[in-house]
Chain A
Amino acid sequence: MRTNRRLIKQIPTVLITVAVFLACGALHAEGAIEGVVSATSTFTLTARTGYVSTPDGGSYLMWGYANGPGPMQYPGPTLIVNQGAVVTVNLNNELTVPVSIVFPGQKAVRSTGGIPGLMTNEAPAGGGTVSYTFTASQPGTYTYYSGTNPDLQIEMGLVGALIVRPATNPGTQAYNHADSQFDHEYLFLLSEMDPRIHDLVATGNMAQVDNTTYFPVLWFINGRAAPDTMAEANSPLLPNQPYNCMPMMHPGEKILLRMIGAGRDFHPYHTHGNHHRVIARDGRLLSSGSGADLGEQAFTTTVIPGSTADAIFSWTGEKLGWDMYGHSNTVDPNRIGANCVADGVALEPGESLADHCKPFPVVLPSQQELTFGQFYSGSPFLGALGGLPPGEGGFNPNGGFFYMWHSHAEKELTNNDIFPGGMLTMMLIEAPGVPLMNP
């Protein structure tokens, strides 16, 4: 099918978001996941309404947790605390229904105030408050969400991430063991949406919501559907969807994926480029007592509703069988590896010696025989740019390697009947020395 025309409709959004992002990303490099940090580990969330945008032009009523007096956001603020902190979450409710928060994986959560609900105390509708306190005893990736009519309220957007940083090396490890060391970390909060439910709530027909006919047609990473996943964080174009997801690294570095199932469906999440190693689930290292020794190598990890998984991804480009930097030995093309170094062709940092100066194995077809992706640099080599036909490429100014990280339930790569979109983002490996715009 010719989706190019449809894609062209999306291109203004893509161009703006990606271009703005690439241009401005370096200015607000936090070096960590976007979220809320509090010196006292006390957070104030407000449940209120707002609208999210989807790349197909949709706009949907949501209920979400706002950060204090801020706008409704989907997902709710990522709460970042330190291991051992006594965490207090004060919830104000501006919705017309009672609302609450449960914290799966946290022990002895005490709720004060509000009114008793089925799972926990709730903040009454129309200005009620409730407060939750617990000790974040174990590091890891967690989720929080509404414990009140969760079948409706999580769908409406009342869900978020909780990150507990370990006592040991909290800036570079996910857990108290070196097996969880990372250079860059990114959140992958996966969810889906059935817009009919949102329309019914928006039109005052909440009683007609029927969860037995649930049929999602929109899929999100951190509350955004592709290509918005790749726009800058806190984009003014997406005032209620502040979190992006565009992982970046250099060869040999490690990315920590903090994956959360924030809806009701399972999602098989696939990393192009390499395997990842799942090191923890639900905030516990996969361990028999020695680090993440029970960690599981996978090219696809099933992200389970209400559950979390942490994985480490790395990539070196080794064993390709050709020099990924396109080095060649001009003295003698047959002298590769260490011999090529000896002939004066230096290795890039971390480059595989075995493939050094090995020639590219095939001849690529002529331009008119190929279709080029927007994220292709025009060259097969890392850090290099090549010729592209007019209007092709353009999203890869530094000659990086891009990889799609996406749900392998391919249906979920759509935005309400329009391909491509949904639960996908592009991971970028930049050549050594090229600054990362979203570290």
Chain B
Amino acid sequence: MRGKRRFCFWTLIFFLMSLSISSHAAVNVQCPGDNDGDARWNTAGEVQPPNTECLHLAAGDGFVTMADGHLQYTFGFKNVTGTLEDTVMETGMLAAEFPAPTLKFREGTHVYLTLTNVGMVMRPDLFDPHSVHWHGFPNAAPVFDGEPMSSLSINMGASLTYYYQVPDPGTYMFHCHVEATEHMQMGMLGNLYVTPLQDGTSVGGCGSQKYVYNDGDGSTCYDVDFPIQIHAFDSNFHDLHIAVQPLPFALMKDNYPMLNGRGYPDTVNPNPLPAPVENGSKDSQKVSAKVSAIAGQKVLLRISSLATVDFYTLQVLGIPMKVVGKDSRILRSSGGQNLSYLTNSVTLGGGESVDVILNTTGVAPGTYFLYTTDLNNLSNNAEDFGGMMTEIVIN
């Protein structure tokens, strides 16, 4: 109850703050052809330039719920594309999602990603800037890399627009890089992947015309794809954060292992998890980790890790895992030899990704499991059954 009172108090304070911030209207969307600042081309006279995408993310704080019911204070992103500039602050405040909204682009697209820092409602003593770091962007320039020591980050109540000419296809990831240990442990993490120019063409008898890479031979053909990101929270870090205490960097030890920001059995909920009252009842965990397919389909798992402490091993029981890519590069020798391999487990540290295809031809319909074989991580803190596990349902 004390928490709730505190919540009301800070909400009031922040409401007053937001009045003054919005009167300066420093939120500023840069999106070619968009005239009203909602990052969309939906009003008369607005023309979408060819091959161009715009996005608007808000960075702030919020709440999520762990699978054992533990409420967790977080930092995160919310997609505010479509929101007019003068309402972005109130839409984005206390609306952080975990994981961040999934970003999916096609190779070669011009992307204008506006990031607005809406501040941390529950920590008005902080004035942290934020950033977007596209992890793995090849030949990056510091100005759009989001690593704050070598570039820029955006202050509260203001917007910075990143520009990307979307690079080679594959599974990347994104996160805030400001005070990285803290902001990443707090949850500013998300899936990001790029689809290849080869999509939509028929190569190697690929019926879906969808490929992980520009493989030239259809060897990375898949039917359905699922981004699966490895996460883990140290609840002590989060709890001390909301209690405005010094943060335990040295003692950081994750006790909530997750896939897409959820511990089992929440992972298999296809819907957003129930919204916490504490953030004003906004959906904050929208990304399911449930994998479902029809027998015979090729299922692509875009697996990445943004865990801030440990390595994790993921295993699929009953369906061989074909690893076709790592770190957004096809597994090929420089001589063109196919280096993909079959396995039943992959191990990832923070900042690593793999593309795994499950060929379900001949696989009996039923429920299969994707889970960590670091067995102590099959837990939601003290709850012994849960954690880093999800289901693959073959119909």
Residues of A within 8 A of B (CB): 1-3, 179, 217, 266-268, 270, 272-275, 288, 290-300, 302, 315-322, 324, 361-365, 368-376, 380, 382, 401-404, 408-411, 413-414, 416-420, 426
A363 with B142: CB separation less than 8 A = no
A10 to B168, CA, bound (A): 39
Contact indicator B180/A371 (Cβ below 8 Å): no
Identify which of B138, B241, B249 contacts A414 (C-beta below 8 A). B249
User: Could you tell me if A408 and B147 are in contact, using CB atoms closer than 8 angstroms?
Assistant: no
A212 to B129, CA, bound (A): 40
Contacts of A290 in B (CB 8 A): 335
A272 touches B350 (CB 8 A): no
- When the two chains form the complex, which single residue of A294, A365, A382, A404 contacts B339, counting CB atoms closer than 8 Å? A294
B136 neighbours in A (Cβ, 8 Å): 275, 299
Contacts of A373 in B (CB 8 A): 147-153
Report B9-52 CB contacts with A as 1/0, cut-off 8 Å: 00000000000000000101010000000000000000000000
Residue on A with the closest CB to B138?
A274
Of B81-89, B191-199, B308-316, the stretch lying at the interface with chain A is B308-316
Select one of B139, B165, B182, B335 contacting A315, CB under 8 A: B139
Question: Most chain-B CB neighbours within 10 Å: which of A291, A369, A411?
Answer: A411
A81, B337: Cα distance in complex, Å: 35
Q: How many A-B residue pairs have CB under 8 A?
A: 211
Which secondary structure dominates chain A's binding surface? loop
| Distance between Cα atoms of A409 and B306 in the complex (Å) | 8
Given A365-B158, A404-B147, residue A320 in contact with residue B141 (CB < 8 A): yes
| In the complex with contacts A293-B334, A370-B154, A419-B182, A268-B141 CB distance below 8 A | no
- Closest chain-B Cβ to A267's Cβ sits at a distance in Å of 7
| CB-based nearest B residue for A322 | B163
**Cα(A300)–Cα(B328), bound, Å:** 11
**Residue from the list B180, B311, B334 in contact with A410, Cβ < 8 A:** B180
In whole Å, how far is A57's beta carbon from the nearest beta carbon of chain B? 14
Q: B175: shortest Cβ distance to chain A, in Å?
A: 9
Inter-chain contact A380/B141, CB cutoff 8 Å: yes
List A contacts of B135 (CB < 8 A). Answer: 270, 299
Given A316-B139, A369-B26: A414 and B250 interface contact (C-beta under 8 Å): yes
Name the contact of A288 in the complex, choosing from B129, B147, B337 (C-beta under 8 A).
B337
- Interchain residue pairs with CB less than 8 A apart (11): A2-B128, A268-B350, A273-B145, A293-B334, A293-B335, A300-B327, A368-B155, A374-B149, A376-B142, A404-B150, A411-B252
Contact in complex: A319, B139 (CB < 8 Å) = yes
Inter-chain contact A410/B185, CB cutoff 8 Å: yes
**Smallest CB–CB gap between B202 and chain A, Å?**
27
Asked whether, in the complex, the Cβ of B179 is within 8 Å of the Cβ of A419, the reply is yes
A293–B327 CB distance below 8 A: no
Interface size, chain B (Cβ < 8 Å):
71
Within 8 A of A (CB), among B149-177: 149-155, 157-165, 167
The answer to whether the Cβ of B226 comes within 8 Å of any Cβ in the partner chain is no
B residues 233-273 touching A (CB-CB < 8 Å): 241, 247-252
Q: Is B395 an interface residue (CB 8 A)?
A: no
Give complex CA distance A267, B311 in Å: 9
Given contacts A292-B334, A294-B333, contact A403 B179 (CB under 8 A): no
Residue in contact with A217 in the complex, picked from B139, B250, B337, CB distance below 8 Å: B250
Q: Which residues of A contact B30 (CB under 8 A)?
A: 362-363
Complex contacts, A419 vs chain B, CB 8 Å: 179, 181-182, 249
- In angstroms, Cα B332 to Cα A288, docked, is 12
Q: Is the CB of A362 within 8 A of B163?
A: yes
A297 lies within 8 A of B155 (CB): no
Q: Which residue, A288, A322, A370, A371, has most C-beta atoms of chain B within 10 A?
A: A371
Q: In the complex, which residues of chain A have a beta carbon less than 8 angstroms from the beta carbon of B349? A: 266-268, 300, 302, 408-409
Residue of A nearest to B347 (CB): A302
A275 and B142 within 8 A (CB)? no
Q: Is the CB of B142 within 8 A of A403?
A: yes
Contacts A273-B139, A300-B327 aside, 13 further interface pairs with beta carbons under 8 A come to A2-B128, A275-B138, A275-B327, A292-B334, A365-B26, A365-B160, A373-B152, A375-B150, A380-B141, A404-B147, A411-B249, A413-B180, A419-B249
Q: Are A2 and B26 in contact (CB under 8 A)?
A: no
A411 touches B181 (CB 8 A): yes
A-side contacts of B282, CB under 8 Å: none
